[in-house]
Amino acid sequence: MVFSSILFIFRFLPIALGIYYLTPKKYKNFSLLILSLIFYSWGEAKYFLIMISSIVVDYFVSRGIERYRERKNIKISLLCISVCFNLGMLFFFKYFNFFIDNINSILGLALNHVKITLPLGISFYTFQTMSYTIDVFRGKVKAEKNIISFGAFVCLFPQLIAGPIVKYTDINKELEDRKMDINQIEEGIELFILGLGRKVLIANNIGMLWTEIEGIGFSNISSVLAWLGVLAFAFQIYFDFSGYSLMAIGLGKMLGFNFPQNFNNPYISRSITEFLRRWHMTLGSWFREYVYIPLGGNRVNKGRLVFNLFVVWFLTGFWHGASYNFIMWGIYFFILIGIEKLGLLKFLEKHKVFSHIYSIFFILIGWALFSVTDLSQLKILFIKLFNMTGGIDWLYYIRNYGLTLIIATLFSTPIIEIAYKKIIKNKLINTVILMCIFLISIAYLVDATYNPFLYFRF
């Protein structure tokens, strides 16, 4: 069940909010836990026990760490249980068949695949629960004594499937005592509608351009159309994911939680370093806090710094999927960041126009790497991008998608956001705008069959 669906908007959400608001304060976490488990089980009933296991294991491990805090060996052993359990689940469901393929290829074997599907949200909630036990181990937070409250944190439905990655330290106080007022609920509704508009009206429409180009086949298109396709994918993945994140943040506010920001206009960046600080911010924050800094961060010699960056970006790429193109994507950004840290950043800071052109070009190359998991097709796409194959096929798509591209470009800058902040000072006008966005989005969902969500596969 995705947020941008008629089923969620008109059935699950109003019923869930009605139950939640009517539940006495003392039992709100319990109602939230049950509603979140129902939401998760709607499409993944067979993996219900995995979610319960994740809650139980990390709850008791954290309580054990708290109890044996002065006994270092026991404390370390318990942390290892949590990390191995979480990473073990992630490895089995997401990467097991990938390694089987590689073993077969290297050793000439014929080992069979395990017939499994990737549980929704496993890449996100395993990181959340793992960060919790690590924080308890560090003494950053105390172990949650109430298993209901902890369960509500683990499977909180607004951010369960695709983030933002919400750490326990982000909402632990709100789990115990959160206040909701009409202004916060109104703000949540507003953010949800704005996110819905980004997802449905921009991402879905521009995504159809990329899907059409994929359908034609990269070997059958001109170089201009290849670049147009990569640009369409760049807009699709941004508005798809940022829109979904905005809906999640809005839903969180409706329930009394304040989730961290996940995107900050990444396409206005003047360097790849800046772009990655603005893109999927909660994932970047997680890797920085739990991988990069423990490795030594940037307070090390240059050789170790290169190693630290390589580990972080290799893992970041591999986190996105069991495919070599994601690993290449991570290493690609590692190389660019390394070059920038060696001195390119100083040059970019002095040349404003060039720095924007440089950033957009290399960001698009990155999305080309990210977009195609079949390496043979990825090779063809890159040949098309750079061999300057002529043709006028792109004119047809510019005619059909030109307006959508212009809208996507404008909304990927702060221009619209700045204008909107001026408009919302008039509450009536703001209400009318939000109602229009909502009604048009619903009309689109009723009529359209194209409504993918790219981050479901991660």
Contacts of 333 (CB under 8 A, 6+ apart): 272, 276, 313, 316, 317, 366
Mutual orientation of helices 72-90 and 122-138 as an angle, nearest 10°? 170
Amino acid residing at 196 = L
| Residue 221: band (very low, low, confident or very high) from pLDDT cuts 50, 70, 90 | very high
Res 44 pLDDT > 80: no
> Nearest CA to 397 among 232, 239, 235?
232
What's the confidence (pLDDT) of residue 308? Answer: 93
What's the confidence (pLDDT) of residue 458? Answer: 60
Residue 235 token pair: 């807009």
What's the confidence (pLDDT) of residue 454? Answer: 67
- What stretches of 177-271 show up as alpha helix (H) in DSSP? 182-197, 204-216, 223-255
What's the confidence (pLDDT) of residue 422? Answer: 83
pLDDT tens digits for 389-436? 888 999 999 999 999 999 999 999 999 988 888 887 788 888 999 999
What's the confidence (pLDDT) of residue 423? Answer: 80
For all residues of the chain together, what is the average pLDDT?
A: 92
Amino acid residing at 445 = L
Helix (H) or strand (E) holding 268: none
What's the confidence (pLDDT) of residue 102? Answer: 92
The single residue of 113, 280, 320, 356 carrying the catalytic annotation is 320
What's the confidence (pLDDT) of residue 316? Answer: 95
pLDDT tens digits for 54-107? 999 999 999 999 999 889 899 999 999 999 999 999 999 999 999 999 999 998
- Total residue count of the chain as it appears in this document: 458
Q: Taking a C-beta distance cutoff of 8 angstroms, is the pair 373, 325 a contact?
A: yes
| Residue 2: band (very low, low, confident or very high) from pLDDT cuts 50, 70, 90 | confident
Res 51 pLDDT > 90: no
Res 456 pLDDT > 80: no
What's the confidence (pLDDT) of residue 354? Answer: 96
> What residue has token string 């190693």?
307
Number of H helices, E strands in the chain: 23, 0
Torsion of CA 95, 96, 99, 103, to 10 degrees: -170
Res 455 pLDDT > 70: no
What's the confidence (pLDDT) of residue 240? Answer: 94
What is d(CA 383, CA 364) in angstroms, rounded to the nearest whole number? 15
pLDDT tens digits for 106-150? 988 888 888 888 887 888 888 999 999 999 999 999 999 999 999
pLDDT tens digits for 314-368? 999 999 989 999 999 999 999 999 999 888 999 999 999 999 999 999 999 999 9
Cβ-count burial 195-208 (b if 16+ within 10 Å, e if not)? bbbbbbbbbbbbbb
What's the confidence (pLDDT) of residue 162? Answer: 78
Q: Is 320 assigned a catalytic role?
A: yes
**Is residue 246 exposed (0-12), middle (13-18) or buried (19+ Cβ within 10 Å)?**
buried
